[in-house]
Amino acid sequence: MKANLKNPYTTWSIVAALLAIFMLNTPFAVHPELVDKGPSWLGLDVSWQMTLNYALKEKWVWGKDIVYTYGPLGFLSTRIGWGIPAWLFFVFDVFLIANFFFLFRDFLLGTREKFIAILIIVVTTLLLGTNHGSDLSWVLTVFIYYWMFKSYKEPRTFYFVMMAACIVLCFFVKLNAGLIGITFLGAHLLNLLVYKRIRLFKALWIFAGVLALIGILSALLHVHLPGYIKGAFEIIKGYNDIMHIDEGDYGRSQRNIGYLLLFTLLSLAIPLTHSFKQRKLSTLLFSLLVFAYIFLLRKQSIVRNDAQHYYEFFAYAPFVFLFGIVQLLDETYQKYMARAVFCFSLFALFMIAEYNNRQVDKSFEQRYLFWGNYWRQLGAFDTKQYQTQADKRYIPQRALSLIGNKTIDVFPWDSEYILENKLNYSPRPVFQSFSAYTEKLGRYNYQHYIDKAPQVILYDYESIDGRYPFNDDLLVNFFICKNYTFADSFTSNERLRLVLLRNPSVTPLEIVVPKNTVAGINKPIPVDWVMMMQIDIEETFAGKMQAFFNTTPAVILKMTRANGSVVKYKVSKELLKSGIMVDRWVANTTDFYKYLNDKNTLDVIKEVELIADPDYYKETIKIKYINIK
């Protein structure tokens, strides 16, 4: 039977299918290339991505053995294929393509101005990455919105099933996005109940069904739900507190993001006005969903300490408008809204060309001309190709012989030293030291070392973003100094590495608090010969608003050494609460070796000072002086 191309439904379904099929992920799987030169943070992303797959292979318990915002399905985002069968990626990609098809088709059918609608979709396909990476959660969120819109128009079981599938996937790919999805689901069901578009029994059944499915998959995927959720919240809290770029460095980029946010607000005035005029208050939720999406995406882009993430905002922000908000409007309002969305998308496309150097022709080439690569890479996929770069993470034979099959952890983050050399990896739950940026996360790691400290540590003293390395995993660093002995050292990737052996018996730290006191910001604070300080600094109302709507106001730790020289480090409210090391100034791995063996060879810290904007932080700060025995 021939398709009836004169039927608009058939025609636009074919167009949508053609556009959707080019949304296949390329490359099919990612094979990260390790580098053996340059700054150590070049190995940071590869190490956490590979560790997620290793955790899945070794059946670690998420929320206990590993604490992270990515979950056991995080490989769907990273596309690291180590230990993952090809069919699993393929089935997931088919699921994504189906969602793109339904979304594109309904946008084309529901938007009266078809030419504008096609332009919007084409621009959107050029904006979105061919490999979504960490932004996969934003794609799934738009699909959640879409199925909410579909079930609002007509509450069919299939629509709720697809919505539930997207929410559950989000939950186990990246927890924060999953929790947002569950929250939005609750708001959506409540909206349907209030306006009598669904019965209470069905609403409860749907919500309970999503939670039950999460519970079942948690058992199958080795997830301890309370620890998984609490740990992720801690990481999000600490991340928002410390991970941001100073606006002075990238002010223009942040301003353009702000313009796009303002454009969104102005665009949303159209459906909001329509909802009030037509007294369709039940549709207000969808305008709020768009704003929440744009607001959270902007927040992520400016908080993540990498200018590359500004590109992600421009790429994924316009995508949210496809989910159905345009179709809610009558002909006059829809005309204005469609044009606003097109301008919004076009502006974002120009911003990508500026910031990511990805011109329109290059975007077109990557999306539509490299499509065949997916099928070639699918056929050539081999999960065994992921441990073939031991030469890039060189450990000399004498050190390998010393390590043998002993349990081993690595500092500060490069687990590839362990994985590429096939050693017996036994990491702390927050397995990258810079991520232990709250007191609770630091305690997780410290308790792990009390319970089952690894027999060997491969140690490099390093942090990111101008932070004082000893303050990352502070208690664990003190614990190492008390319970480990230097055994060997070697140079690899242009950095000195220490091999430390655990002592025969492990002794917990003894915390002694000589005194508590108060001091002021932007004023010298004497150290008084203690080893550690815990400082409680409180934001003003203006500071809290700045942290909520933009980034957390900066705090700089100024340390004055006994010889009079000054060093400054980036710090945060949560890191200060966790504690700062003020015993000696440890500048590098060689100094850490000295601190481990004879700290008296290092320079003493005489006083510290917290440099912060008094408009954003209260004058008085609370200080707990601490010694470690």
Sorting pLDDT into bands at 50, 70 and 90, what band is 352?
A: confident
The secondary structure element, H or E, covering residue 592 is: helix 589-598
pLDDT digits (tens, 9 = 90+) for 436-476: 999 999 999 999 999 999 999 999 999 988 899 999 999 99
For residue 543, pLDDT beyond 50: yes
Neighbours of 433 (CB within 10 A): 27
Task: Supply the pLDDT for residue 253.
Answer: 63
Reported as a pLDDT band with limits 50, 70 and 90, residue 3 is very low
Q: What is the largest CA-CA distance in the chain?
A: 89
Mean pLDDT over residues 222-247, rounded?
85
Instruction: Provide the 8-state DSSP code for 72.
Output: T
Q: Using 50, 70 and 90 to split pLDDT, how confident is the model at 273? A: confident
Q: Which pLDDT band holds residue 301 (cuts at 50, 70, 90)?
A: confident
Tokens of 242: 């410390």
Q: How far apart are CA 602 and CA 591, in angstroms?
A: 7
Cis, bond preceding 27 (omega within 30 deg of 0) = yes
- Phi then psi for residue 525, to 5 deg, are -125, 115
Supply the pLDDT for residue 281.
73
Query: In the prediction, which pLDDT does 366 show?
Result: 83
Q: How far apart are CA 13 and CA 190, in angstroms?
A: 32
* 373 pLDDT tier (thresholds 50, 70, 90): confident
- The encoded tokens of residue 25 equal 């992920």
Name the pLDDT band for 252 (thresholds 50, 70, 90): low
- 259 has pLDDT over 90: no
How many Å from the N-terminal Cα to the C-terminal Cα in the chain?
83
Interval 66-92 mean pLDDT = 94
Cα gap 25→42, rounded to integer Å:
24
Amino acid at 17: A
Q: What is the pLDDT of residue 1?
A: 35
Q: Which residue has the tokens 């556009």?
A: 19
Q: Which strand (E) or helix (H) includes residue 460?
A: none
DSSP code of residue 415: T
Tokens representing 380 are 């050539």
CB-CB contact of 589 with 597 (8 Å): no
Does the pLDDT value for residue 6 go beyond 70? Answer: no
User: Residue 243: is its pLDDT beyond 90?
Assistant: no
Alpha-carbon torsion (481, 487, 489, 492), positive or negative = negative
Average of pLDDT values for 131-149? 93
The pLDDT score that the predictor gives to residue 278 is 66
Lowest mean pLDDT among 183-187, 205-209, 235-239, 623-627: 235-239
Q: Please tell me the predicted confidence (pLDDT) of residue 2.
A: 41
Tell me what the mean pLDDT of segment 274-301 comes to: 81
pLDDT, mean of residues 178-201:
92
CA distance 384 to 363: 31
Quick one: average pLDDT of 82-102? 95
Window from 19-33, 289-303, 588-602 with minimum mean pLDDT: 289-303
Query: Is the CA virtual torsion 103, 109, 110, 114 positive or negative?
Result: positive
User: Residues 375-390: pLDDT tens digits?
Assistant: 999 988 888 788 889 9
What pLDDT is stored for residue 332 in this prediction? 74
* Rounded mean pLDDT, 577-594: 95
- Residue indicated by tokens 């393929």: 90
Whether the CB-CB separation of 149 and 286 falls below 8 Å is answered with yes
